[in-house]
Amino acid sequence: MDSEEILALYDWDTGVCFRHPGENPDTTAVKSLQPASAPAEEIRACRNCVLAMEAARRAAAEGAGIPYVPGRAGDAL
């Protein structure tokens, strides 16, 4: 699966990337964190970060001998 096919698995909207807050407004939600005393916070990532996260998940899956499933960048294996 190439980069464009992986990126097409996500819903993109204007937002702030957790690693690049001022660079690219095109982001997708990758995780939701629930602080104990505050509303849930949505964590968003830009296209470059999503691709980096997917590459890390792919490498971890290969190392663990399990199938890599794209489209879940914010999930652990």
Tell me what pLDDT residue 29 has: 96
Tell me what pLDDT residue 23 has: 81
CA atoms within 13 A on the CB side of 53: 25
Query: What's the predicted TM-score (pTM) here?
Result: 0.89
CA atoms within 13 A on the CB side of 21: 2
- Where the chain has pLDDT below 70, the residues are none
